Amino acid sequence: MPGSKSIIPFGPQHPVFPEPLQLRLMLEDEKVVEALPAIGYVHRGIEKLAEKKEYTQNIFLVERICGICSFMHALAYCQGIEMLMNVTVPDRARYLRVIWSELHRLHSHLLWLGLLADSFGFESLFMQAWRSREAVLDIMEATTGGRIIISTCIVGGVRRDISEELMAEVLKTVDALERDLEIVRPVVFDDYSVKQRLVGTGRITSEQAYDLGSVGPVARACGIARDFRETGYAAYKEIKVTPITETGGDAYARARVRIREMYQSIDIVRQAVRDIPVGDIAVSARGNPEGEVISRVEQPRGEVIYYIKGDGTKNLERLRVRTPTFANMAPLLAMLPGCELANVPVIVLSIDPCISCTER
């Protein structure tokens, strides 16, 4: 019947989503009128569990909030504990943290590129992106022993060093990745079919993005130059990061931001490998955290906020995590109304959702 509305539950088990997100879409014919997220399918209760475990054990727990950006979760947590315990991290460890952070960003963005390509049916781009990504995972395995969850961040530094020979391997990997990106970049930037699907899809204005509190590439694609690496945590004091911005505010602009960020990450890895000082990789941290602190780190999807409250015992009193996808959920709901049902997967994946982070 024309004009009547129907509600379609999109997910939780859906071929496009690797994660169980449910969107209840109110449709008028093929047009989305309203979208309501129904979350909770991956809620575990990690924040509560973190109060039961010791603060050193929590590192392994927060790494498993999200397997894609696990190192950054550990980094944000460790930085918070270090602030509470007044631990100064050795310089070499700060640079190593930057190297692993940027490798994580590279693999996360390539993963996103593959999933986005899959969402609009570009199977070969999906395969290409994931093929390039394996090189990053290989170097992560060579330097840490783990492909994805690498568990190298500890309170007071890092667990492992990267030797000279491996540093050369890291450089070789990013060189090869840059060559791969040179092939992929024109496809995303200029290809007619890709632009047909991405340009104008899921557009929000700069004001909307700001008012709804979007973070990371979603905000930067609307021209909001906000990147938390600018504040100079880890070795970002020495390695300057300029936020990459686009002005389109649509899925195409978000894709451009992420592709350009990959080049930026490659540059940062090169700088860090070049400038890394010699020295210790960790200091021993004694005592227990006391007081409260907010620790912020720029993840591939945006800014993560850790609120940590310690009471002088080995258990934390409270751990609160605000993840980037949670912040980007409100902008997502602003993007969906007005689009066609067939564009919903593209729009959802254009914000690079991480539901495991959001629901913890």
Partner 1 sequence: MNCREKSPWIVHFNCNSCNGCDIEFLACLTPIYDVERFGIVHVGNPKHADILVVSGAVNYRNVRVLKNVYAQMPSPKAVVALGACGATGGIMADCYNVLGGVNQVIPVDVFVPGCPPRPEAIMDGILQAAGLLNVRQEDRNAGAEVRLTIQPAGEPEKV
Residue 187 CB, shortest distance to partner 1, in Å, is 16
Residue 69 CB, shortest distance to partner 1, in Å, is 9
DSSP state of 13: S
Q: What is the pairing mode between strands 22-28 and 153-154?
A: unpaired
Report how far residue 238's alpha carbon sits from residue 280's, in angstroms, rounded to the nearest whole number: 18
Give the DSSP per-residue string, 295-324. Answer: EEEEETTEEEEEEEEEESSSBEEEEEEE-H
DSSP 3-state of 30: coil
Strands (E), the chain: 5-10, 22-28, 31-38, 153-154, 157-158, 290-299, 302-311, 316-322
| C-beta of 111 vs 276, nearer to partner 1 | 111
| C-beta of 44 vs 240, nearer to partner 1 | 44
Report how far residue 253's alpha carbon sits from residue 224's, in angstroms, rounded to the nearest whole number: 12
Residue 46 CB, shortest distance to partner 1, in Å, is 7
Report how far residue 347's alpha carbon sits from residue 259's, in angstroms, rounded to the nearest whole number: 17
Residue 326 CB, shortest distance to partner 1, in Å, is 15
Name the β-bridge partners of 290.
311
| C-beta of 96 vs 111, nearer to partner 1 | 111
Structure tokens at 15: 């071929």
| C-beta of 55 vs 252, nearer to partner 1 | 55
Residue 47 CB, shortest distance to partner 1, in Å, is 10
| C-beta of 61 vs 89, nearer to partner 1 | 61
DSSP 3-state of 294: strand
Contact positions toward partner 1, by CB under 8 A?
7, 9, 12-16, 18-20, 24, 40-46, 48-49, 52, 60-61, 64-68, 70, 111, 114, 126-127, 130-131, 133-134, 137, 147-149, 354, 356
Residue 136 CB, shortest distance to partner 1, in Å, is 12
| C-beta of 255 vs 354, nearer to partner 1 | 354
